[in-house]
Structure 1
Amino acid sequence: MNRPIRRLSFVVAFLFASLLVSTTMIQFVYAKDLNARPDNRRTLLSSYARERGQILVGDTAVAKSVPVSNDYKWLRTYPLGAAYAHVTGYYSFYGGGGGLEQAENGLLSGSSDKLAFRRVSDFFTGRRTTGASLELTLDDRVQQAAIKALDGRKGAAVALNPSTGEILAMVSNPSYNPATLSGHDLGKVDTAYKALNGAADKPLVNRAIGGDLYPPGSTFKIVTAAAALSSGRFAPDSVLPGPAALDLPQTTTDLPNIGNRACGDNDETTFLHAMEISCNSAFGHLGLELGADALRDQAAKFGVGDQLSIPMRVTPSSVPAELNEPQLAQSAVGQYDVRVTPLQVAMFSAAVANRGIVMRPHLVRSVLSSDLSVIERSEPEQLSEAVTPEVAAQLTEMMEAVVENGSGKPAQVDGVRVAGKTGTAEHDPEQRAHAWFTGFAPAQDPQIAVAVVVESGGDADSEARGGGAVGGPIAKAMIEAGLKR
């Protein structure tokens, strides 16, 4: 063989070797990443060839796939529309977006490693492979009660089972119809997504667990009270200063009470009465007495700062890492830079209701096969101990007083003892305060804990006309639905 032919044979051999190596790399090394690429049309079309699992609330499918006679084979539908949009999210040609459609895509599509054995079984038995279905913890009565009571106002509502961490309701307003993003007309889907994503009121954001987060206002006084009671230095009948405004150190700015009124005779009040009427000056004083570390540590015991997955990712709530004394006093009443999700505020109440134990919140009760047999079931899991049972009992007494005699009267339920806390959170000088209510019932045997926030729905001059009058009736409706009254 002459030299030119030998050189050519080496080049050809090298090219074949390169082709073999690249093919091997694509098929075995990069295959998973290539399949996961959002612009891989072949993979996306193949995902439509398999029926996607249902998302169930009780016996009702809030997301399901129906057969169609086109290349996609299946269309994802949402029978209850906007009512569960932030729970389900949406599934389109571009993949899962938000909610469970994204967080549990592997299970719903059938591609999860948890379903590997079932896929092998389907191959040998000739059964059509389908995605797993998700049975949720949600209670449709509580969900619908929250939607109706919010009445289209911006905000969010969450309900929990205090003893298990099951999420009974999760509502975010404004909402959207996931069906507009799940169609097969990609031009319409793209137009709808751009409109929703660009909307000023951010309907795609689940305000219950994410977004910009909220100042908690006086609902955070549950945390401050827990820290004070846990210190052993204070009891519900302890006498605290309650002037019309607390003189803060290091600044000429005071911490005023709502309405600039003293909380009791001689500028004094009991701890219980301070909670009952939501006395800022008394709680600011407690914050200064306890110190920033004690306040942050107590918040952490309630779950503030935790990276939670329900299985959607929850934006962590936070208390600032550095606080001077004026900032500390403001933080003790839920202002300054304290930020929370409504889910976190519901966890405050749920922990008190559950004798001080914080349960990990979760949204999926069980994973079901196509014949609805159980593949996997969620078990209650303790997240932390926020307070002792004794302190939880004291907090319950104080929160009952809020609803029985104080700013939370609008949350009263006939024949049921309700424990709660109102909140009025200032956030923008140009807008009204956010209105909050959180609580649980029945106080002696808690079955449901709730948190409600109505954006810019409060009255900065009155806790009762803010969190009480606005958030209280919404919480009441959810509690009544949860207790099946």
Structure 2
Amino acid sequence: MSRYIRHAAAFCVLLLGALLVNTAWLQVLQGPSYGGNPANRRPTIARYEQPRGQILVGGRAVTGSRDTGEQLRYERTYTDGPLYAPVTGFVSQRYGTTFLEHAEDRVLAGTDPMLAGFPLWNDFTRARNPGGNVVTTLDPAAQRAAFQGLGTRKGAVVAIEPTTGRILAMASTPSYDPGELSGNGPAVAAAWARLNDDPEKPMLNRAVRQTYPPGSTFKVVTAAAALDAGLVTDLDAPTDSPDPYRLPGTRTSLANEAEGCENASLRYAFEWSCNTVFAKLAVDVGVDRMREAARGFGFNDEGLRIPFSVAPSTFDTHVDRAQLALSSIGQYNTRATPLQMAMVAAAVANDGQVRAPYLVERTTRRGGGLVSAAGSRPPRQVMRPQTAVRLRELMCDVVADGTGHNAAIPGATVGGKTGTAQHGVGNSGTPYAWFVSWAQGRDDMDARVAVAVVVEDASARRGDISGGGTAAPIAKAVMQAVLRSRPAG
């Protein structure tokens, strides 16, 4: 009898061993293929079975979660959705994630291992941690001032804290409500189709994903290169600059909108945006030095993330002298995002140093425990400190006596540069209006904010420099909002 029992026991052990081997084979070897199978809904169900973490602005959550009671239980909700859409992006059960919702998805969804107190135990039990929170660098007053300043016009605003690189505002218009895309029903599909078919592209973040010809605002970079190269030593000395200026090697002449530009000083040329002076300066500087100056400010950087990716701003390095002249006044192939031009203004305000811009101050567990912090970012010296001092002087003149007077703030030091970017066939399109600026309060040790504004559909007469009339008041409102708020830290 015992022999049969031994045989039965051995057979049971064999079956158990086969079961364990099969289980291990399924989980270890076949697990990835099953997990990635589109028919497997368990990961999707698990993803939405608990509330998502929050994105915070000024200590207040601008996101939430709604319990639908359905299989995909929790849907994302947004407070002031259109205001913060260029920053938060969306979470859609049907169309995925964008912007911060995408870049910080593991923290917000609770899948980041840093959220777990005992990671190995979580791996063993397959438990999901509560979603963590993402604390942004945004100043809510500055963000609202930027969004309201743009109003119904198409454009973008970026504000940066020059000494740290913290992004204080990032607005893009027209905008949309990301909550319309949260679920997976017919209404979501209809909203997706409507938003994608809209010729105004409301889901495009123009602040970081759209590049524009920067027009005369790029003259800040050209002036920095000329001053660093020693081509200009006296801001008030005449320059050898004819008006009009024949582009080297061509029969094309470059003219000015302003008067008095022939042999104008750098101060006058900067204040009244004389194209001929800056085009000739750039040719004298040379393509190599201009390329290095632009690269130092951040042009041609394809790896910038804030933490989501940014479209690279470009300065064409394969140009002849005529093309270099046009590139250096913000035309030809020169393209820039509003974020890039805010970095240019910030470098001037910060003694010639550029800080890498960032949008996330820290991430935390649901209870508030720190997961990660932005940390210190080393600066990049892009011009001599003395050059930055001279550029601040020039930019202050633009606001005090020149085309940027609409950005003046009583009791504060403000520097700026207007710009008009031509586009369309034969430059027939309505010019894009640019304004870049920085501001320092009366009691501040350093400049508190640097701003770039672009308005695509600026209404201006062809002879006007529309940046001063259209974009400068928006920049002023943003700078005032920052100066009224308590400094960070």
Tell whether the structures are fold-level matches, with TM greater than 0.5: yes
1:87 partner SS: helix
Equivalent in 429, 432, 440 of residue 431 of structure 1: 429
1:375 partner SS: strand
**Change over 3 Å in CA distance of 1:298–1:25 after alignment to 2:** farther
The CA distance in 1 between the partners of 2:345 and 2:124, in whole Å, is 51
**Change over 3 Å in CA distance of 1:29–1:133 after alignment to 2:** farther
Q: Deviations over 1:138-193 (max 9, x none)?
A: 00100000111111210100000001100000001111000100034x22111211
2:264 partner SS: strand
AA paired with 2:298? G
2:469 is the alignment partner of 1:453: no
The CA distance in 2 between the partners of 1:239 and 1:196, in whole Å, is 53
1:194 partner SS: helix
AA paired with 2:215? G
1:24, CA displacement in angstroms?
A: 5.8
1:384, CA displacement in angstroms?
A: 1.7
Equivalent in 363, 367, 370 of residue 363 of structure 2: 367
2:451 partner SS: strand
Mean Cα deviation higher: 77-86 or 59-68: 59-68
CA root-mean-square deviation = 2.6
The CA distance in 1 between the partners of 2:32 and 2:154, in whole Å, is 41
1:37, CA displacement in angstroms?
A: 7.0
2:438 partner SS: strand
Question: In the alignment, what sits opposite 2:297?
Answer: 302
Count the aligned residue pairs. 461
**Change over 3 Å in CA distance of 1:26–1:103 after alignment to 2:** farther
Question: In the alignment, what sits opposite 1:198?
Answer: 197
Mean Cα deviation higher: 237-246 or 134-143: 237-246
**Change over 3 Å in CA distance of 1:291–1:200 after alignment to 2:** same
2:413 is the alignment partner of 1:417: yes
AA paired with 1:320? D
Question: In the alignment, what sits opposite 1:146?
Answer: 146
Uncovered stretches (5+) of structure 1, i.e. residues with no partner: 1-16
Equivalent in 292, 314, 317 of residue 287 of structure 2: 292
1:73, CA displacement in angstroms?
A: 2.2
AA paired with 1:305? N
Percentage of pairs with the same residue: 41
Q: Deviations over 1:51-99 (max 9, x none)?
A: 2110000122111223332222212100112100111111111364221
Contact 1:242 1:279 in 2 (8 A): no
Normalised by the size of structure 2, how large is the TM-score? 0.88
Question: In the alignment, what sits opposite 2:5?
Answer: none
1:244, CA displacement in angstroms?
A: 3.7
The CA distance in 1 between the partners of 2:360 and 2:260, in whole Å, is 47
The CA distance in 2 between the partners of 1:209 and 1:459, in whole Å, is 25
The CA distance in 1 between the partners of 2:29 and 2:220, in whole Å, is 53
2:236 is the alignment partner of 1:237: yes
1:269 partner SS: coil
The CA distance in 2 between the partners of 1:30 and 1:278, in whole Å, is 66
**Change over 3 Å in CA distance of 1:148–1:118 after alignment to 2:** farther
Q: Deviations over 1:311-331 (max 9, x none)?
A: 110011111121111111101
Question: In the alignment, what sits opposite 1:166?
Answer: 166
The CA distance in 2 between the partners of 1:201 and 1:476, in whole Å, is 26
Question: In the alignment, what sits opposite 2:404?
Answer: 408
Query: How is 1:160-309 mapped onto 2 (pairs within 5 angstroms)?
Result: 160-184=160-184, 186-211=185-210, 213-235=211-233, 236-258=235-257, 261-263=259-261, 267-306=262-301, 307-309=303-305
Question: In the alignment, what sits opposite 1:351?
Answer: 347
Q: Deviations over 1:370-396 (max 9, x none)?
A: 112222111231252111211111110
AA paired with 2:310? V
2:428 partner SS: coil
Question: In the alignment, what sits opposite 1:323?
Answer: 319
2:328 is the alignment partner of 1:332: yes
1:432 partner SS: coil
**Change over 3 Å in CA distance of 1:154–1:30 after alignment to 2:** farther
AA paired with 1:357? Q
Contact 2:116 2:129 in 1 (8 A): no
Mean Cα deviation higher: 311-320 or 246-255: 246-255
Uncovered stretches (5+) of structure 2, i.e. residues with no partner: 1-17
1:402 partner SS: helix
The CA distance in 1 between the partners of 2:44 and 2:67, in whole Å, is 16
